């Protein structure tokens, strides 16, 4: 952001500053209508190029949704909007009935219960596998609590359990930076589990994984659905077919088609987009 | 293996051999220096002069400043190029107390006003000089003045997410602005000459050997406590969060940490430590003037930490001691080449020893 626009923002009276609303606890997640995520009319432009163009998407509580679409369709940008990384030019984004994501900072969104696995695995390289999981662990993340935080036996057990789920129990003291690409993917999934989010956003989880690992990831994601809501972005069609109930096809920043895998694959517009590549 | 990994997790210090060595050496020095000065007769080769005791005390206050900088730079990636501003503010707070202690013993003999105010023809003490006749109040200000400035500065800088080079530049601007402000006579801090001609502290004559030794010991204790507090911080989960911020700031936000608050409190704590270092420095060197705010001083502190090895705390201590010893020797022999020597040393270390001197030792240990 340039200095001028930042200065301009200071005098913008319609703006509510984060620090003015700080202190009040955010309202709890409200799933009265059984919808956990509302994206309506989301538009994001980068220098005039519309990465998202009037995007509408609704995710039901407990749902496992796959998002597919060619490279550059705007899938990652959509996740950036949901997690507060990118602010849209237009539209609204709600988490449940009451939480306006567009008014929340990244940590507030994370604390409210949205966890994310990045497309490019980003773990804390200098920390051990164990410490990565410890950092991600759900709980009070305010400065004073963390300064004096001690792991309880239950928390330690939970970390051990997740280490087992992601298949890295022997590497717990290993520097995360020394892991292979696939292991980093798993570690990031483990971090996501530690956060105990209501909504999981998973960006291309199986890139760089072996077929067996891919299968295990599929099982894990399916087992999470129900108690959590899961949104998965993936290119691997076999993988999508193995887990998806509902598939949303994104193209040029908006939804092109939505439905079961079969109906979507037979949709002529979808065929055109994928074959026309 | 299992036992040692458990132990390393129970102890807040992950690799604490360097820190243990630091505490052992600090204790040895704190015991030896007073003995060598007070108990060994002056003619003996082992006798330490008052000058040496004071010089060592000064080095230790620099070491505390270096620890403060390492805490934010080495662990959190905040490269402050203005940290001596906090050091100088702590020093001024102590200097104001020492000025008020002079009382009517000044050249002009005014019972309340320091000499420079009489010289400027001021009739009354400015409001911000009130309270500094009380030691406890001055000590509070030693921590509060730099702490509050750091908090306010950090509040704006970190919330607007200024990072990297831009942050470094505004810290330089901060110390430069203070330099210019403190140079002005109207500011009421003695202008160009600063504060000096101190007589005593809590009634003890600053020139006496015993006071010098006591000041040295206080500095050693402050360094020990400051180091221990810093070690606790970096060994706690808070420490792992700030390292995460250093390595992947955005990622840290996405797992729910309010990065601004972490940086803000760390920066404020670091500034308060620097202020304490400055307060211990001033009675030992006998003067505080605006020159302490000079941007180059802050850059020198960064060089100490880089040369010693950042992100270890003890490396900062090693760097501060070695570089300042070299400076004492070199500026005595060839004063004009000091800055070039420092610059060359910095370049050599960053190119060949990115982990600094202690990194070299650790590498030796690992290969042995
Ligand atoms: N920060 C950015 N600046 C400019 N263009 C961007 C930025 N982020 C994404 N884009 C563009 O937006 C489009 C959508 O990107 P992305 O959301 O990453 O697509 P996908 O994840 O579906 O492959 C791409 O054309 C990309 O080049
Ligand atoms: Mg993408």
Residues B313-357 have pLDDT tens digits of 999 999 999 999 999 998 888 888 888 888 888 888 888 888 888
Ligand 1 nearest atom to the CA of residue A203, by list position: 21
Who among A105, A110, A127 is closest to B240 (CB)?
Answer: A127
Quick one: pLDDT band at residue B366, thresholds 50, 70, 90?
low
Residue with tokens 């530049």: B169
| Residue B1 pLDDT exceeds 50 | no
Letter string b/e over residues A22-59, b meaning 16 or more CB atoms within 10 A of that residue's CB: eeeebeebebeeebbbbbeebbbeeeeebbbbebebbb
What pLDDT is recorded for position A244? Answer: 80
Interface of A with B in 123-152 (CB under 8 A): 124-127, 131, 134-136, 141-143, 146-149
Residue B84 or B1, more confident: B84
H/E element, B320:
helix B314-333
Quick one: pLDDT band at residue B4, thresholds 50, 70, 90?
very low
Residues with CB under 6 A from ligand 1: A 46, 51, 69, 71-77
Q: Look at residues B358, B329, B355 and name the one whose alpha carbon lies nearest to residue B341.
A: B329
What pLDDT is recorded for position B331? Answer: 86
How close are the terminal C-alpha atoms of chain A, in Å?
34
How close does chain A come to B36, measured CA to CA in Å?
41
ipTM of the complex model: 0.87
Q: How far apart are CA B304 and CA B292, in angstroms?
A: 16
Residue with tokens 């609590």: A145
User: What CA–CA distances, in Å, run from B15 to A87, A186, B18, B157, B320?
Assistant: 42, 28, 7, 32, 21
Q: How far apart are CA A53 and CA A255, in angstroms?
A: 9
Identify the domain containing residue B146 by its residue range: 2-367
Q: What is the mean pLDDT of chain B?
A: 90
Number of other CB atoms surrounding residue B358 within 10 Å:
24
Q: Look at residues A166, A158, A50 and name the one whose alpha carbon lies nearest to residue A117.
A: A166
What pLDDT is recorded for position A66? Answer: 94
What pLDDT is recorded for position A38? Answer: 93
How close does chain B come to A109, measured CA to CA in Å?
7
**Could you tell me the pTM of the whole model?**
0.89
Q: Is the dihedral of CA B40, B41, B45, B48 positive or negative?
A: positive
Interface test with A, best of B77, B254, B269 (most A CBs within 10 A): B254
Number of other CB atoms surrounding residue A63 within 10 Å:
20
Contacting residues of B for A85, CB less than 8 Å apart = 250, 254
Q: Give the pLDDT mean for B194-205.
A: 90
Contacting residues of A for B244, CB less than 8 Å apart = 124, 127, 135
Who among A19, A85, A191 is closest to B255 (CB)?
Answer: A191
* B133 contacts chain A (CB < 8 A): no
Ligand 1 nearest atom to the CA of residue A250, by list position: 22
| Residue B5 pLDDT exceeds 50 | no
Q: How far apart are CA B116 and CA B192, in angstroms?
A: 11
* B156 contacts chain A (CB < 8 A): no
* B233 contacts chain A (CB < 8 A): yes
Structural contact between residues B11 and B3, judged by C-beta atoms closer than 8 angstroms: no
Contact A135 B262 (CB under 8 A): no
| Residue B14 pLDDT exceeds 70 | no
* B6 contacts chain A (CB < 8 A): no
pLDDT in tens, B48-98: 888 999 999 999 999 999 999 999 999 999 999 999 999 999 999 999 999
Q: Give the pLDDT mean for B245-272.
A: 95
Nearest CA in chain A to B2: A173
What pLDDT is recorded for position A187? Answer: 94
* pLDDT lower than 70: segments of chain A: 1-27, 275-277
Residue with tokens 């705010």: B293
Residue B161 backbone class (left: φ over 0; alpha: ψ -120 to 50; beta: rest): left
| Maximum alpha-carbon separation in chain A | 59
Contact A143 B251 (CB under 8 A): no
Q: Give me ligand 1 centre to Cα A51, in Å.
A: 6
| Residue B277 pLDDT exceeds 90 | yes
CA B83 and chain centroid, separation: 8
Q: Which domains does chain A have, with CATH numbers?
A: 3-22+62-86+105-275 (3.40.50.300)
* A11 contacts chain B (CB < 8 A): no
Number of domains, chain B: 1
What pLDDT is recorded for position A13? Answer: 47
What pLDDT is recorded for position A106? Answer: 94
What pLDDT is recorded for position A25? Answer: 57
How close does chain B come to A251, measured CA to CA in Å?
26
pLDDT in tens, B171-180: 999 999 999 9
For residue A74, which ligand has an atom nearest its CA?
1
> How does strand A114-117 pair with strand A99-100?
unpaired
Q: Give me ligand 1 centre to Cα A92, in Å.
A: 20
Q: How far apart are CA B299 and CA B291, in angstroms?
A: 14
Contacting residues of B for A191, CB less than 8 Å apart = 255
What pLDDT is recorded for position A88? Answer: 95
Contact A142 B258 (CB under 8 A): yes
Structural contact between residues A175 and A125, judged by C-beta atoms closer than 8 angstroms: yes
Ligand 1 nearest atom to the CA of residue A69, by list position: 22
β-bridge partners, A92:
A40
* A105 contacts chain B (CB < 8 A): yes
Ligand 1 atom 18 nearest Cα: A76
Residue B148 or B39, more confident: B148
Q: Look at residues A167, A180, A171 and name the one whose alpha carbon lies nearest to residue A129.
A: A171
Contacting residues of B for A111, CB less than 8 Å apart = 256
What pLDDT is recorded for position B338? Answer: 86
Contact A146 B238 (CB under 8 A): yes
What pLDDT is recorded for position B155? Answer: 95
């Amino acid at each position: 952001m340039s200095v001028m626009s930042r200065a301009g923002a200071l005098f913008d009276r319609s703006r509510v500053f984060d620090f003015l609303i700080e202190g009040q606890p955010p309202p709890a997640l409200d799933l009265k209508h059984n919808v956990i995520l509302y994206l309506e009319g989301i538009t994001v432009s980068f220098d005039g190029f519309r990465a998202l163009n009037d995007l509408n998407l609704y995710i039901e509580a407990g749902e496992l949704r796959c998002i597919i679409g060619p490279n550059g369709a705007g899938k990652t940008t959509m996740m950036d909007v949901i997690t507060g990384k990118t602010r849209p030019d237009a539209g609204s984004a709600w988490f449940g009935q009451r939480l306006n994501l567009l008014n929340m900072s990244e940590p507030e969104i994370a604390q409210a219960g949205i966890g994310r696995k990045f497309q490019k695995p980003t773990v804390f390289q200098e920390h051990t596998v164990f410490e990565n999981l410890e950092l991600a662990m759900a709980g009070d993340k305010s400065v004073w609590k963390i300064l004096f935080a001690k792991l309880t036996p239950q928390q330690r057990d939970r970390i051990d359990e997740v280490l087992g789920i992601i298949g890295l129990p022997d590497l717990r003291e290993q520097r995360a930076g020394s892991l292979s690409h696939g292991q980093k993917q798993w570690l990031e999934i483990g971090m996501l589990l530690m956060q105990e989010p209501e909504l999981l956003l998973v960006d291309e989880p199986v890139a760089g994984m072996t077929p067996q690992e891919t299968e295990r990831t599929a099982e894990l994601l399916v087992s999470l659905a129900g108690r959590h809501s899961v949104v998965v972005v993936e290119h691997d069609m076999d993988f999508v077919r193995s887990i998806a109930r509902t598939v949303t096809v994104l193209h040029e920043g908006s939804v092109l088609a939505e439905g079961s895998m079969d109906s979507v694959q037979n949709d002529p517009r979808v065929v055109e987009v994928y074959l026309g590549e | 293996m299992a036992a040692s990994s458990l132990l390393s997790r129970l102890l807040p210090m992950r690799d604490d051999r360097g820190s243990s060595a630091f505490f052992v050496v600090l204790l040895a020095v704190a015991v030896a220096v007073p003995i060598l000065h007070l108990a060994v007769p002056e003619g003996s080769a082992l006798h330490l002069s008052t000058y040496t005791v004071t010089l060592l005390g000064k080095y230790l206050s620099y070491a505390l400043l270096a620890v403060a900088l390492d805490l934010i730079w080495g662990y959190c990636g905040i490269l402050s190029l203005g940290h001596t501003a906090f050091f100088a503010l702590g020093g001024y707070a102590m200097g104001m107390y020492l000025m008020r202690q002079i009382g009517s013993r000044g050249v002009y003999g005014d019972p309340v006003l320091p000499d420079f105010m009489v010289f400027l023809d001021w009739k009354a003490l400015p409001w911000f000089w009130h309270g500094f006749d009380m030691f406890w109040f001055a000590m509070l200000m030693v921590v509060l003045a730099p702490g509050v400035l750091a908090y306010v500065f950090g509040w704006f800088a970190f919330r607007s997410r200024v990072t990297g080079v831009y942050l470094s530049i505004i810290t330089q601007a901060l110390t430069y602005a203070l330099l210019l402000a403190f140079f002005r006579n109207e500011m009421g801090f003695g202008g160009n000459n600063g504060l000096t001609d101190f007589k005593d502290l809590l009634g003890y004559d600053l020139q006496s050997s015993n006071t010098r030794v006591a000041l040295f010991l206080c500095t050693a204790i402050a360094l020990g406590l400051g180091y221990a507090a810093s070690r606790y911080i970096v060994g706690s989960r808070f420490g792992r969060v700030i390292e995460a911020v250093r390595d992947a700031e955005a990622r840290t936000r996405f797992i729910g940490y309010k990065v601004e608050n972490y940086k803000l409190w760390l920066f404020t704590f670091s500034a308060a430590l620097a202020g304490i270092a400055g307060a211990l420095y001033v009675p030992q060197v006998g003067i505080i003037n605006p020159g302490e705010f000079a941007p180059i001083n802050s850059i020198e502190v960064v060089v100490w930490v880089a040369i010693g090895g950042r992100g270890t705390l003890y490396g900062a201590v090693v760097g501060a001691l070695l570089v300042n010893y070299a400076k004492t020797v070199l500026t005595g022999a060839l004063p004009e080449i000091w800055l070039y020597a420092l610059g060359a040393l910095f370049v050599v270390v960053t190119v060949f020893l990115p982990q600094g001197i202690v990194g070299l030792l650790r590498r030796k240990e690992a290969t042995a």
